[in-house]
Each structure stands twice: as C-alpha cells, then as structure tokens.
C-alpha cells in the first residue's frame, strides 16, 4: 500500500469459531446451590408438557466463554477505539459513570410492580428526567415509555391522530420531506396515515411554496427533522409552523438531531407540537451494537390528554405514584414504563453536564462538523452550500468519475482506522457521504480524519483499484451480501 496510514496499524487478532463448535458433553460454566426444598418429579408435575431435550444448546466452560466473547469483541470497531463519523447516528462518548449508577442494587433490581411506597427512588428518577427533558426541549409534557426513536415516532403520531379525532376529523396523511429517515414513512403507515412526499428546495430545506400548496385539511402533520438530514437548520421553521397551524395541522419534529440544538434553541419555542428524542443519541446512552435505545416523546399542552398510560404524578401526600385513569390516552405502547435503565444513564449525563456543559457540548459538535467541512471542501463535492450544523453531507460526484462510489471510500476509510461515515443517505444527495463527528472528537482525531479522507481522494486519482478493493486490513474482506439474501443461512446447524 502506497500511503502510510497514521492512525491504525495491523495487529494479530485471534480466530474463533462458533460457540457450538466448542461444545462437548460434560463441560459446564454454571453451578447451582443445593436445593433447600424437596426435589420434584418434573414428569409428574408437567406430564405431556415436560421437555426432555434442549437440542444443540452448547456445553462449555467459563474460560472458554470469556475468551469466546472477548475474541469476538476485538473484531468490532467502537467509539472507545476512535471516531465514528456516522451521520445522523450521533456516536458520542458513553460515560462510564452512567454504567456504574445503572448497576446500583436498588436501581438494577427494582421490580416494575413493587409497591409505590418502595419505588420512590425510581419514580423520582422518572419525574426528574421528565422535567429536565421538558426544559431542554421547551415543551409542556412528556412520556418516557417508547423503547426507541421509531417507537417514539409511532407514539407521537398516535397522539397526533387522537388529537385530530378529538377535533372531529382524524385526517388522512402525513407530509414527509424527501430527506427524512426511513422510519418516518414506515411509522406513518403503522398509524394508518398515507404518506405524501414533500420536496426540498435548492438550499436543502423545506420548499415553502410546495408546503403551502400541499397543506390542506387532510394533512394531520408534517414530520420534520431539524436540523434536517443535510445538517441544515430549517431557517423558515416559524413559517413552516404557521402554514401547518393555519390549516389545523401539527408540526412533528424528529429529534434525531437534537444534539445540534441543546442549550442553544428549544423546539417548543419555534412552533413544534410533538417531538421525540433519542436518548442513545443526544443523551449519551450506549448504542450497544444496535440497542437498547429510548425514545421519549415531548408534547405541547393540547396533546397532554392523549399521553400513554401510566404517567407519573405527585400525590396529595407529596409522594410519587402512577396515574392509570386517563380516558383519552392512546393506551400503552410498551409493558411497564419504558427502558428505565436508559433514563438513569441519560439523567446522569445531564447531571454531569449542567446547563453550561450541555451548551458547550452542542457548540463543540457544531464546531467539529464545520471544521471537517472546511477541511474537505474542494476535495469532495459539497452539493448544498447552506451552513452546516452538527453534520455535513458531501457527495461522491468527483470520485465517481473514476468509478469510485461513496461505499468504496467508506470501506477504504476502515484501513485508515476509522469507522465509515453514513453512506447513500439522505436520499436527496446521490452518492452521499454523511459525516457527523459529534463533540467527542479532539482536534487531533479530526485532523487525522481529514488527512485520511484527502489521502483516499488522492488514491482515487492515482490508483482507484486500491479503494475499490478496500478494506485490505480487516479479518474479512467485503462480504457477499447477495448470496446471504438469496439463500439465507440464519442459524448454525450441526454437520452430519
């Protein structure tokens, strides 16, 4: 390889088979205490329902399990290893104190049905986080119940529908900009609303004229991500809200990019009626390889009667409790109260930051994105010159001339020690490179990233094949996804 990769060096890592391939009868990693009650005859108690055999479940020892998963872990990239510039995903540092406090005995082992008088600690956490998120968003009320962003979207749209029904007309459709996340249209469909596409203008923002002409009494809401997926703040936000409100529609804000706004501006102040937050983005709870998330939904007063049940209330004696009797509620969206463990982490994050820390966090996130934009402008095509907030979207237009596409550049970035950026999204930018550094990156890491991206652009000019064949340094090369989908192998089976 021609170019020196400064951030990463190859090193040996261990091979490891599937756990089933290590199993053999008689090995065990468990030990139960002696039974202190009489033994039972399962056959007698369960009859036909007794299970005799657990099939191919593994039998391995503890050290093998430790090595197995530790070896697997070394095959992953992670925030703890370096920058994760995934646009829209907000891969920021996950503070370890959050993990520690989530494991404190009474918090980790609280049963959701334990009596309220011995749940005051958990209830206070729910109450405090709710109040702080309301203050941060400038909204009036909140539910913490949804388990993830998409689940929050569904909950939000259920409340939108309930609101319109209470006004005598449930309405028929949701307007969704062409730059939106795929979850937005998928959610609208789950709540039985038709989806109508709204195109962006030359600045990458909502086209006001188009909105004006498409807005009518059939439109229940506009689902808007702000800043949008181009990392652009919708400057006409108040006009957008006015157009919707004039015809009785609601403004739904997808809060996926709330990390660009915290402490600087509040959606509740610029006309948003309902929004969800992703605690695993803005509020630092770990992504964990794809979850768990948490998707609280904050709303304006007029939607409050429709919140999912239960809600936390302060009772007459000053203690906290759950209120279930809410006749206008949209119902429950999940058993129990939501991903409580994520609330603990998010609250610890807000506590560690305070008002000044949260503001500085937002400022650094926006500063980092603009620093990258400046560093790569000219090297990569910037389809929208509109000012950048927390993420910047380039396109592969210049590199495509050499037959190199965004996915190839992304894969080559792996050899330089970085996780790829988000590829091919938003859909309005053909060949998009969507880059979000977050506030967690020091200047040195950003400089290395810019250098890596420039180096790849040079490779595209001089030796595009090296980029097309990337990655070169990983334990597996590009995988055959077509074969995986055509003839799916979704589980291990013993060879015989």
Show contacts with other proteins in window 42-81 (CB under 8 A). Answer: 42, 45-51, 54-60, 62, 65-66, 68-81
475 forms part of the interface with other proteins (CB under 8 A): yes
Among 212, 247, 336, 430, binds other proteins (CB under 8 A): 336
Q: Residue 252 forms beta bridges with which residues? A: 223, 274
Q: Does 466 bind other proteins (CB under 8 A)?
A: no
CB of 485 to other proteins, least distance (A): 5
Q: Does 159 bind other proteins (CB under 8 A)?
A: no
**Per-residue contact track with other proteins, 170 to 189, x per CB under 8 A?**
-----------xxx-xxxxx
Binding flag, residue 89, other proteins (CB under 8 A): yes
Number of residues binding to other proteins, judged by CB under 8 A: 196
Alpha-carbon gap, residue 226 to 205, rounded angstroms: 10
CB 240 within 8 A of CB 234: yes
3 state DSSP class of 148: coil
Using the minimum distance from each CB to other proteins, give the nearer residue, 334 or 401.
334
The two structure tokens encoding residue 39: 């033994």
Within residues 14-43, the interface with other proteins by CB under 8 A covers: 16, 18-20, 23, 28-30, 32, 35-40, 42
State the virtual CA torsion across 74, 76, 82, 85 in degrees, nearest 10.
180
> CA–CA separation, 351 vs 372, rounded Å?
30
Peptide bond into 84 cis (omega under 30): no
Q: Which of residues 94-113 bind other proteins (CB under 8 A)?
A: 94-95, 97, 99-113
Edge to edge, the sheet with strand 250-255 lists: 141-143, 297-299, 274-277, 250-255, 219-225, 173-177, 194-198
Q: Is 166 in the site for other proteins (CB under 8 A)?
A: no
| Binding test (CB under 8 A) with other proteins, winner from 228, 339, 399, 406 | 339
Of the two residues 401 and 411, which places its CB atom closer to other proteins in the complex?
A: 411
Binds other proteins (CB under 8 A): choice among 2, 9, 168, 356: 356
Residue with tokens 């609303």: 193
Touching other proteins, residues 292-311 (CB under 8 A): 292-294, 308
Per CB under 8 A, 400 contacts other proteins: no
With binding defined as CB under 8 A, does residue 337 bind other proteins?
A: yes
- Pick from 3, 5, 248, 291 the residue near other proteins by CB under 8 A: 291
Q: SS3 for 367?
A: helix
- Binding other proteins by CB under 8 A: which of 166, 210, 218, 265? 265
CB of 99 to other proteins, least distance (A): 7
Closest approach of other proteins to the CB of residue 463, in Å: 18
Structure tokens at 396: 């592969």
Q: Which of residues 205-244 bind other proteins (CB under 8 A)?
A: 232-233, 235, 237-238
Shortest distance in whole angstroms from residue 405 CB to other proteins: 15
Q: Which of residues 410-439 bind other proteins (CB under 8 A)?
A: 410-411, 414, 419-420, 425, 439
Closest approach of Cβ 352 to other proteins, in Å? 6
Closest CA to 65 of 115, 11, 22, 10: 22
> Residues with Cβ < 8 Å from 53, sequence gap 6 or more?
none
Environment class of residue 401 by beta-carbon count within 10 Å: exposed (0-12), middle (13-18) or buried (19+)? exposed
Using the minimum distance from each CB to other proteins, give the nearer residue, 120 or 216: 120
Candidates 207-215, 299-307, 360-368, 460-468; binding stretch for other proteins (CB under 8 A): 360-368
Q: Spell out the SS3 assignment of 149-197.
A: HHHHHHHHHHHHHHHHHHCCCCCCEEEEECCCCCHHHHHHHHCCCEEEE
Contact, 231 vs 369, CB < 8 A? yes
User: Is position 12 an interface residue for other proteins (rule: CB under 8 A)?
Assistant: no
Kindly report whether the peptide bond that precedes residue 310 is cis, defined as omega within 30 degrees of 0: yes
Site for other proteins in 112-151 (CB under 8 A): 112-115, 117-122, 124-125, 132, 135-136, 147-151
Q: How far apart are CA 490 and CA 21, in angstroms?
A: 16
Q: How many CB atoms lie within 10 A of CB 62?
A: 12
- C-alpha to C-alpha distance for 211 and 213, rounded to whole angstroms: 5
Strand partners, 251: 222
Smallest gap from residue 461 Cβ to other proteins (A): 24
Closest distance between other proteins and the C-beta of residue 400, in Å? 21
Q: Based on the shown chain and the rule CB under 8 A, indicate whether residue 154 belongs to the binding site for other proteins.
A: yes
Q: CA 60 to CA 7: how far, in whole Å?
A: 38
Question: Residues 312 to 331: which contact other proteins by CB under 8 A?
Answer: 330-331
**Close Cβ partners of 71 (under 8 Å, ≥ 6 residues apart):** 13, 14, 15, 16
């Amino acid at each position: 390889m021609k170019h020196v990769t400064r951030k990463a060096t190859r090193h040996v890592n261990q091979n490891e088979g599937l756990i089933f391939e290590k199993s053999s009868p008689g090995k065990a990693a468990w030990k139960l205490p002696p039974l202190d009650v009489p033994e039972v005859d399962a056959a007698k108690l369960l009859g036909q329902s007794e299970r005799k055999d657990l099939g191919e479940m593994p039998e391995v020892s503890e050290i093998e399990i430790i090595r197995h998963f530790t070896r697997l872990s070394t095959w992953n990239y992670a925030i703890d290893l370096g920058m994760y510039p995934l646009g829209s995903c907000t891969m920021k540092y996950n503070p370890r104190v959050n993990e520690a406090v989530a494991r404190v005995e009474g918090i980790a082992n609280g049963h959701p049905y334990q009596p309220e008088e011995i749940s005051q600690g958990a209830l206070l956490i729910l109450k405090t986080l709710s109040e702080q998120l309301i203050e941060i968003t400038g909204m009036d009320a909140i539910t913490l119940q949804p388990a993830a962003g998409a689940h929050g979207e569904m909950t939000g749209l259920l409340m939108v529908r309930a609101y319109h029904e209470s006004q005598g007309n449930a309405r028929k459709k949701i307007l969704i900009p062409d730059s939106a996340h795929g979850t937005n249209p998928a959610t609208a469909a789950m709540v039985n609303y038709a989806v109508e596409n709204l195109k962006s203008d030359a600045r990458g923002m909502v086209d006001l004229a188009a909105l004006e002409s498409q807005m009518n009494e059939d439109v229940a809401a506009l689902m808007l991500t702000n800043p949008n997926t181009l990392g652009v703040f919708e400057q006409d936000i108040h006009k957008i809200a006015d157009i919707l409100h004039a015809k009785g529609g609601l403004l739904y804000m997808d809060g996926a990019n709330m990390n660009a706004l915290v402490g600087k501006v509040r959606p509740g102040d610029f006309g948003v009626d309902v929004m969800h937050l992703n605690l695993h983005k803005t509020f630092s709870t770990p992504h964990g390889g794809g979850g768990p998330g948490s998707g609280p939904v904050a709303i304006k007063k007029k939607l409050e009667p429709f919140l999912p049940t239960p809600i936390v209330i302060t009772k007459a004696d000053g203690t906290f409790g759950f209120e279930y009797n809410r006749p206008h509620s949209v119902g429950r969206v999940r058993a129990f109260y939501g991903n409580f463990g994520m609330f603990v982490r998010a609250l610890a994050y807000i506590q560690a930051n305070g008002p000044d820390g949260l503001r500085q966090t937002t400022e650094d996130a926006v500063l980092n994105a603009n620093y990258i934009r400046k560093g790569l402008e000219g090297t990569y095509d910037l389809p929208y010159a509109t000012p950048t907030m927390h993420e910047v979207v380039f396109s592969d237009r210049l590199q495509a001339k050499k037959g190199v596409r965004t996915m190839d550049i992304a894969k080559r970035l792996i050899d330089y020690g970085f996780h790829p950026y988000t590829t091919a999204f938003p859909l309005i930018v053909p060949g998009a490179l969507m880059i979000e550094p977050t506030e967690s990156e020091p200047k040195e890491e950003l400089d290395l990233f810019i250098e890596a991206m420039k180096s790849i652009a040079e490779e595209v000019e001089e030796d595009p094949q090296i980029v097309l064949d990337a990655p070169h340094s990983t334990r597996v090369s590009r995988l055959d996804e077509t074969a995986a989908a055509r003839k799916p192998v979704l589980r291990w089976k013993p060879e015989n």
